[in-house]
Structure 1
Amino acid sequence: MRYVLLLRGINVGGRNKVVMADLRKQVQALGFTRVATYINSGNLFFDSLKSVEDISAMFQAFFEQTYPFVTAFSLFNHEDYQADYLSLPAWWQGELARKDVLFYTEQVDRQLVKDRVAALPMGDELVHFGRLGVYWGKREEKNYLQTAYHKFLLKEPFYKQVTIRNGKTLEKIGEFLSR
């Protein structure tokens, strides 16, 4: 089965450096096959016959030893991606100034995220709660600095327990999972 592992908080502002070529080799050494990465922000793809629980435990141990600053990641397979993607509302495919996905990690309290996001003053923002994360759309770039996304997200207690990808990267994740 094809999986993606989305790492949180690596290669940001010169901190928590992970060289993707090194990570690919290390993950292959763990026994995973067809290992690939996309851009430098920690999008790791691989094949495995192991269960999600076993894979997650392997990566938790690996990161504790090799990259201890990696404390949160999101792990899912192609089937989970497809189910979430196909359930997106029509507005996600429309013209928006920005699209982001706040992927849940194993550490996050999903209900807390939903409750906190639902309580934010949304204005012209759009939100969809999927199984893998929160899909967030912003209609106009000129109002971005006034959006709940920009003004409140960093202050939320769950912020360090989600990993964020933009809409373009979401599409690339789908392409890599389909290979």
Structure 2
Amino acid sequence: MKHVALLRGINVGGNRKVPMKALKVTFERLGFRGVQTYIQSGNVIFQAEKVDQAAIEQALRLEFGFPVDVMLRSAAEWAALAPRNPYPAQAAADGTKVHVAFLHQAPTPERLDALAARPSGEDTWVCLGRELYLHTPGGLGQSKLNLAPLKQAATVRNWRTVENIGELLEK
């Protein structure tokens, strides 16, 4: 079974450096097969019958010297992202204006209400389970969205990256 591991907050602004070759080796040491990385933001595609998120995070902490949150998705969960995308026209027009925030768990209604209460300008979002789909017409760098009310780790990928990882999973 294929899986995707998304690492949060690595290789941003020269901080928390994780070389992709070393990341691949770390996943292989954990016994995963067919390990591939995709771009420097920490996307790992691999094969495994069972996956232990805590074991992956512990191995990363030991290997790189700092904690790294990992969001895991199966290939089937990844394949469901596109059909569920509430912004297909915007994603088709510009894959850098639609993003997916990957969460460990689905937010509670109270957390979603707290997020909705915050001003977000022209940016919009839709939460579907453990994914928060974001449309940021001005780009994510200019976005007013702040995911802090969710009170959990999240890692964000633009739609172009989501599609490219999907293609790698199909190979």
- TM interval, shorter chain, is 0.7 to 0.9
TM-score (norm: length of structure 1): 0.79
Q: Structure 1 residues 9 and 94 mapped into 2: Cα distance closer, same or farther (>3 Å)?
A: same
Asked if the contact 1:24/1:37 (under 8 Å) is kept, the reply is yes
Q: Which residue in 1 is equivalent to 2:157?
A: 165
| Aligned counterparts of 2:150 and 2:83: Cα–Cα separation in 1 | 26
Q: Note the C-alpha offset of 1:136.
A: 0.6
**1:85-112 CA deviation, whole Å, 9 max, x = no partner?**
2112244545357122211136xx7226
Structure 2 stretches of 5 or more lacking a match?
Answer: none
Deviating runs (4+, > 4 A) in structure 1? 157-160
Aligned residues: 167
Matched, 1:100 2:99: yes
TM-score (norm: length of structure 2): 0.82
Structure 1 stretches of 5 or more lacking a match?
Answer: none
Q: Structure 1 residues 8 and 126 mapped into 2: Cα distance closer, same or farther (>3 Å)?
A: same
- The range that moved more, 23-32 or 119-128, is 119-128
What RMSD in Å do the two structures reach over aligned CA positions?
2.5
- The range that moved more, 77-86 or 63-72, is 63-72
| Aligned counterparts of 1:157 and 1:69: Cα–Cα separation in 2 | 24
Greater RCO structure (CA 8 Å; 6+ sep): 1
Q: Structure 1 residues 160 and 87 mapped into 2: Cα distance closer, same or farther (>3 Å)?
A: closer
Structure with the higher helix share, 1 or 2: 1
| Aligned counterparts of 1:134 and 1:70: Cα–Cα separation in 2 | 23
| Aligned counterparts of 1:85 and 1:44: Cα–Cα separation in 2 | 19
**1:113-165 CA deviation, whole Å, 9 max, x = no partner?**
52333223344323121223211112356xx74x422xxx27x2557711111
